Amino acid sequence: MLPGVLWGMAAQAPTANDGDGKAETPAQPKITPEMIDAAATIAGVTLTAEQKTMMLDGLTKQRDSVMAIRSLKLQNSVAPAFVFDPVLPGMRLETERRPMRMSAAPDVSRPATVGVSDALAFASVRELAELVKTRKVTSLELTKMYLARLKKYDPKLHFVITLTEERALKKAVDADAEIAAGKYRGPLHGIPWEPKTCWG
């Protein structure tokens, strides 16, 4: 609510004659900490002096960007842009599909204890992929290890909203079954990344 209130206050600016006696253009007042205070009061939020100082430059730039767009005087019949295309005119991108290239397989072995000592918690994805592919470590083992770490550290770090443990474990079992059947899909197959929600 705060940005809308602040914008409304800033938009209520006096007008200035442009010199020809006919057209007038809105003058842009400087956004001040006092203006932020007033908008914050209406929005029901409290801001520190440091926060207001940090906001001033960004708010001014945002307001100036909006005014720059308004100065284009686009007709209402002009449809808004629904597609963003970062390719500049005259630029050509390579569209040929190339085969995947992986770094050489690392020399990795199964640790003595998976999930107990967190021996694999900081291994690279490439190392984990090789362990899973060669079935030295299962996806289920990795999943249980990372789930245990999520439960252990979330009370302090608060990085989980919804822990879908059952879903994660089922996905891991499915991945292990596919790999055992020779249906290895690639280096992310069976790798738990964000095990609370997603699966490789």
pLDDT tens-digit map of 86-102:
888 888 888 888 888 88
Residue 197 pLDDT > 50: no
112-150 pLDDT tens trace: 776 656 778 888 999 999 999 999 999 999 999 999 999
pTM exceeding the 0.85 threshold for the entire prediction: no
Q: Give me the mean pLDDT over the 16-33 stretch.
A: 61
- SS (HEC) of the chain: CHHHHHHHHHHCCCEEECCCCCCEEECCCCCCHHHHHHHHHHHCCCCCHHHHHHHHHHHHHHHHHHHHHHCCCCCCCCCCCCCCCCCCCCCCCCCCCCCCCCCCCCCCCCCCCCCCCCCCCCCCHHHHHHHHHCCCCCHHHHHHHHHHHHHHHHHHHCCCCCCCHHHHHHHHHHHHHHHHCCCCCCCCCCCCCCCCCCCC
**Range with lowest mean pLDDT among 36-50, 57-71, 107-121, 145-159:** 107-121
